[in-house]
Chains A and B, each alone.
Chain A
Amino acid sequence: MDFEYTEEQRLLRESLDRLLGDSYPFDKRKAYLAAPEGYSPAMWTQYAELGLLGLPFAEEHGGFGGTAVDVMIVMEAFGRVLALEPYLATVVLAGAALKHAGSAAQNEAIVPQIADGSLRLAVAHGERQARYDLNDVVTTAKKTPGGWRLDGAKSVVVHGDTADKLIVSARVSGDRFDPAGVGLFLVDARASGVARRNYKMRDETAAADIALSDVEVLATDALGDPERGLAAMQRVTEAGIMATCAEAVGSMETMLAMTLEYMKTRVQFGKAIGENQALQHRATEMMMSLEQGRSLAMLAAIMVDDGDADQRMRDLSTAKVGVGQAARFVSQNAVQLHGGIGMTEEYAVGHYFRRCMVIEHSFGDTGYHLSKLAAQVG
């Protein structure tokens, strides 16, 4: 048992904090948001130079062979500054799909382009009717002489607006809820028949709804066995849970630090508001929630590549529930303890609040995962 970072992980954390400390103060972030991409392409290049974009990929495919704990460190750092770049979409989610479904040839072709920052991906799985159910897929893939033809619609595809390629799930057989018969397909985002409706989510993360009509996909662009893509989607979801748990921990850290700073400086009734016991206790409870959440984010990082599927899924659901509840508590109270200023668009705390809100409603919310855990109580 060991909760220490390795020397390399310490260096990774330090260099990230240095880079983001310089490049991601809140006012610069506003400028990145206003860019056409909704994030900073220059930062993306810097992440590539730092080796972050190839971090979790196997060395034989052109990555750096990093671990989930390395990704946790990156996502925590991103969470602390609300980084906008499509790291989750490209490296974590699409990366997990490539790792768990892609062939060696597909990985060898794509990973180097991810690592050098020239290729952005997004995973297009969710559908309007599906809520959080992974198996609820009605988008279809029909066999053609040269490969597959995709029809359907995908909703809330994170960073789907700027992605160069999409990993699209589609049903090749079975009925709407059948866990078998769902395939994953690599689709050029500019291919004929792909229509993107771009928008921002509530936290200003870019996303898109994507309509697919008669989209032709080469047989060589199916990732893995098209009858068994859902298992890989499960792993994609788990990777997303792990990464966003870490991101939420980073966001909670910043919210707590901002709140404590505010409590020490905001004077009412002739004294700092932090001298009030009711508020001191609330802040203590925020710290406790953050630390309990951090413990579960660590659990997620340590378990996400574990071979015991039942235990892994249980632990990832556990982390999702615990971190979701912690983040909700910390962010709601961060706004509350800031009072009026916490409600303003101009001030950062509300942005962290909204990021945590979006995270909680990604990859299955608290209630969804608690129900899954409850079903297994025995």
Chain B
Amino acid sequence: MDLRFSADEIAFRDELRAFIRDNLPADIRDKMRLGYGAEKEDTIRWQRILNKKNWAAYSWPKEWGGPGWTPVQRMMFLEENQMSNAPDMQVFNVTMIGPVLIQFGTDEQKKRFLPRAANVDDWWCQGFSEPGAGSDLAALKTAAKRVGDEYIVNGQKIWTSTAHMADWCFLLARTNPDAPKRQEGISFLLIDMKTPGITVRPIISIDGTHHLNEVFFDDVKVPVSMRVGPENKGWDVAKFLLGNERTGIARVGRSKERVKTAKEKAREVMQNGRPLIDDPEFRRRVAQFEVDIKALDITQLRVVSAHDKARDGKPDPLTSVLKIKGTELLQSTTEMVMDVGGPLSMPDWAQELAALSNEPELGPAWATETTRSYLMLRAASIYGGTNEIMKNIVSKAVLGL
């Protein structure tokens, strides 16, 4: 048993670190360091730089334009990227539709979509949730009726992140309303967002941004060749999609970066005439986070090192630990940065500034932007299966309750 990385692994990490340092555009890095989210153009710009080295599709095999990395290498890549204030990879492209097509897609689908997904030539979004189907995804009602060599899609999706900027949508629709089990009548379809009959309506979230959407499908025609996997077997594809990515879900690197930023800012912020970092209560809060992050760090290494070993198809209980603890830590470390800003975290001055560009700042940008990020991250324990649903799954699948 040895926690240390091998010389090869350390050399690999150094290579990653150096490349990111030398190639991440300074304007993106500076913006993200302040706590701004990456915009579409930032994500595309950075992902294309990485894709020139075949690193963008970091979890894919070489055959399809990925680097063919080991789980340890993938984990190192994500951590270095997160700690460097670099945009994440386009998640729908890289961790969702890519692996799905590699596993279930036809040769034609792979050739057409994979290189474009890696390079973000297509921006993908995910059409899963519906007004009546959130955690209970199998309750979805959007219908795809087969007519000749087309499906006619009707229905509504909701919480569709980035649908308003997407070129393509992968979507679950009901192809057999009479199936004996709800899960057995669902198919997995790829839809060009320019197809007539699609309407995207914005949902403004509590962080004040437009990230989420409602998407309406009104007699939208989808060629049968755009179905992934067999008809009525879309649930298997969806399960694979939701469960396939084990490394990186904890986003430990980002939590580490948040703690580092909190300490940095706490040296500047004063309380009772002294830097906040001298406050014993604050130091204890940081120390507790460092304990929790260290534990999660090692838990993640345990998952990664067990990754290649056979588990007899059983779910690894540690994966759910990563998801639940990882999101909790990311939320609470971001909350701490916001708290460091104190009252200056409260003005929503970015909008003011845009309107009155000659006025002085109301406070430091990192404070107000962290608050936006804090608000946005409340979703981290909701999307991809709420943490409560995760606990339901663990108690049945792992604990046998």
Question: Shortest CB–CB separation between residue B332 and chain A, in angstroms?
Answer: 15
User: Which residues from chain B contact A376 at a C-beta distance below 8 Å?
Assistant: 287
A296 touches B395 (CB 8 A): no
Partner of B295, one of A296, A302, A374: A296
Asked if A284 is an interface residue, CB under 8 A from chain B, the answer is yes
Which residue of B297, B317, B401 has the most chain A CB atoms within 10 A of its CB atom?
Answer: B401
Asked if B28 is an interface residue, CB under 8 A from chain A, the answer is no
Determine the distance from Cα of A240 to Cα of B290 in the docked complex, in whole angstroms: 22
Q: Nearest chain-B residue to A299 (Cβ)?
A: B298
Asked if B74 is an interface residue, CB under 8 A from chain A, the answer is no
Asked if B249 is an interface residue, CB under 8 A from chain A, the answer is no
Asked if A378 is an interface residue, CB under 8 A from chain B, the answer is yes
Which residue of A5, A295, A299, A376 has the most chain B CB atoms within 10 A of its CB atom?
Answer: A295
A260 touches B302 (CB 8 A): no
A36-44, A132-140, A274-282, A351-359: which lies at the B interface?
Answer: A274-282
- The answer to whether A284 and B287 touch (CB under 8 A), given A1-B9, A260-B400, is no
Asked if B398 is an interface residue, CB under 8 A from chain A, the answer is yes
Determine the distance from Cα of A280 to Cα of B287 in the docked complex, in whole angstroms: 30
A322 touches B294 (CB 8 A): yes
Q: Nearest chain-A residue to B278 (Cβ)?
A: A377
User: Which residues from chain B contact A370 at a C-beta distance below 8 Å?
Assistant: 284, 287-288, 291
Asked if A218 is an interface residue, CB under 8 A from chain B, the answer is no
A287 touches B317 (CB 8 A): yes
Question: Shortest CB–CB separation between residue B45 and chain A, in angstroms?
Answer: 33
User: Which residues from chain A contact B354 at a C-beta distance below 8 Å?
Assistant: none
Q: Nearest chain-A residue to B289 (Cβ)?
A: A377
User: Which residues from chain A contact B324 at a C-beta distance below 8 Å?
Assistant: 288
Mark out the residues of chain A between 258 and 296 whose CB falls within 8 Å of any chain B CB in the assembled complex.
260, 263-264, 274-275, 277, 279-281, 283-285, 287-288, 291-293, 295-296
User: Which residues from chain B contact A274 at a C-beta distance below 8 Å?
Assistant: 395, 401
A5 touches B1 (CB 8 A): yes
Asked if B355 is an interface residue, CB under 8 A from chain A, the answer is no
B173-181, B199-207, B342-350, B386-394: which lies at the A interface?
Answer: B386-394
Partner of A373, one of B291, B302, B391, B395: B291
B388 touches A373 (CB 8 A): no
Determine the distance from Cα of A306 to Cα of B277 in the docked complex, in whole angstroms: 30
Question: Shortest CB–CB separation between residue A22 and chain B, in angstroms?
Answer: 26
B1 touches A260 (CB 8 A): no
Determine the distance from Cα of A377 to Cα of B295 in the docked complex, in whole angstroms: 17
Partner of B284, one of A277, A298, A374: A374
Mark out the residues of chain A between 175 and 229 whose CB falls within 8 Å of any chain B CB in the assembled complex.
none
B294 touches A1 (CB 8 A): no
Mark out the residues of chain B between 286 and 309 whose CB falls within 8 Å of any chain A CB in the assembled complex.
286-288, 290-292, 294-299, 301-302, 305-306
A373 touches B295 (CB 8 A): no
Mark out the residues of chain A between 38 and 79 whose CB falls within 8 Å of any chain B CB in the assembled complex.
69
B399 touches A287 (CB 8 A): yes
Determine the distance from Cα of A5 to Cα of B306 in the docked complex, in whole angstroms: 12
Question: Shortest CB–CB separation between residue B258 and chain A, in angstroms?
Answer: 14
- The answer to whether A296 and B294 touch (CB under 8 A), given A280-B391, A283-B399, is yes
Asked if B310 is an interface residue, CB under 8 A from chain A, the answer is no
Question: Shortest CB–CB separation between residue B218 and chain A, in angstroms?
Answer: 38
User: Which residues from chain B contact A296 at a C-beta distance below 8 Å?
Assistant: 291, 294-295, 298
- The answer to whether A295 and B6 touch (CB under 8 A), given A281-B388, A287-B399, is no
Asked if B166 is an interface residue, CB under 8 A from chain A, the answer is no
Asked if A90 is an interface residue, CB under 8 A from chain B, the answer is no
Determine the distance from Cα of A169 to Cα of B305 in the docked complex, in whole angstroms: 43
Q: Show 9 residue pairs from A and B whose CB-CB distance is below 8 angstroms, ordered by the A residue.
A: A1-B72, A277-B392, A280-B395, A285-B391, A288-B324, A370-B288, A377-B283, A377-B290, A378-B263
Show the binding face of A for B, using Cβ within 8 Å: 1-5, 9, 69, 260, 263-264, 274-275, 277, 279-281, 283-285, 287-288, 291-293, 295-296, 298-299, 301-303, 315, 318, 321-322, 370-371, 373-378
